Structure 1
Amino acid sequence: MHGGSRARLAVAHTNPAVINVSAGNMGTASDAREKQQKLTKLLVNVNIQNSLGPVNLVMSPENTVGELIRAAIEIYVKEKRRPLLSRSDPLCYELHYSQFSMESLRKEEKLVNLGCRSFFVCPKPST
């Protein structure tokens, strides 16, 4: 009892091999969970160039990169964060995976397809 090892019981939510037999369903418990779970909201962190901390947003996975940029800039301006932005027009900014990524993300790309939840916003280069 005190020094002996106990046998561990398989629990449906931790062991996908446990069978879910409720309502005549003979699939595994993980199959049932996959059908029930649908991603409805994403917590996204956006760092804006030269800012001290990220802007945290809760967005739908169906939102686009352009909508994320717009929302992040709006929150940054609304919260009067420092340093102040020279422009508050979201069309003047690009979204990157990080400050070290040279390639900006396409504005029409959906958030659910990006595979990342932390991003970096910087002004578009002048042409």
Structure 2
Amino acid sequence: MPSPKPIRNGIFPKVSERSMSFTGKSGASPATEKLRRPKTVPDLRSAARNGVVSPTSEEMKPKKLTKVLLNVTIQGSVGIVHVIINPELTVKDLISATVKQYVKEGRRPMISCSNFDDFDLHYSQFSLESLEREEKIAELGSRNFFLCKKKQEVAETAASSSMSSCSKQAEKAAQLGSPCPPWLKFMSFLF
């Protein structure tokens, strides 16, 4: 294959005659290589003179969120329920929206959405305190929650009155005069 430039007298062509991809240099002078770039930083003084107005403080404020994506895990269910809700709504509204979304998706175990007051919302499954129903979602500081059935306080008080603690049972046994097991004598801190 013939070369594009003939070799003169056995001498290779000059660097300026070689291809640009071979040497990485072009044959053009450095003055012509400069690219004209636009100004990226505006001159603020000239903008004020030309009548351009800077943005107002209202325009510089961050915009408020209109919707928030929350992840709610429901006790006994596999996976999380994604709920998109307004951050100005309350925890009670989040509970109702979550239960409605859960029923709409047809998840199992099935739950009834007749009474939303039967559910409590927690930060996690390990959190003991439930969230206040009137608290706004934007003030919670989290986007992951845990929803579980509310414990029946009436059933708990009845169960606690019928069942007594181990120390009370040991006291009753001691008062009735029943023989105490030998290992219980060493545990005086129970009485």
- Give the alignment's TM-score, normalised by structure 1: 0.73
Structure of higher RCO (CA pairs closer than 8 Å, 6+ residues apart) = 1
Deviation, structure 1 residue 24: 3.2
1:77 maps to 103
Whole-Å separation in 2 of the counterparts to 1:26 and 1:40: 23
1:54 maps to 80
Whole-Å separation in 1 of the counterparts to 2:55 and 2:72: 43
Query: How large is the RMSD of aligned CA atoms in angstroms?
Result: 2.6
1:103 maps to 129
**Counterpart of 1:50 in structure 2: which amino acid?**
G
More helix per residue: 2
Deviation, structure 1 residue 36: 4.1
Instruction: Please list, as runs of the form range in 1=range in 2, the aligned pairs for 1:1-127 lying within 5 A after superposition.
Output: 23-25=52-54, 35-85=61-111, 87-88=112-113, 89-127=115-153
| SS of corresponding position for 1:125 | coil
| SS of corresponding position for 2:61 | helix
Q: Unpaired runs of 5+ in structure 1?
A: 1-10, 13-18
**Counterpart of 1:24 in structure 2: which amino acid?**
V
Deviation, structure 1 residue 38: 1.5
| SS of corresponding position for 1:55 | strand
- CA gap of 1:59–1:34, structure 2 versus 1, over 3 A, is farther
| SS of corresponding position for 1:98 | coil
Runs of 4+ in 1 over 2 A off after TM superposition: 21-27, 31-34
Whole-Å separation in 2 of the counterparts to 1:101 and 1:117: 15
- Give the alignment's TM-score, normalised by structure 2: 0.49
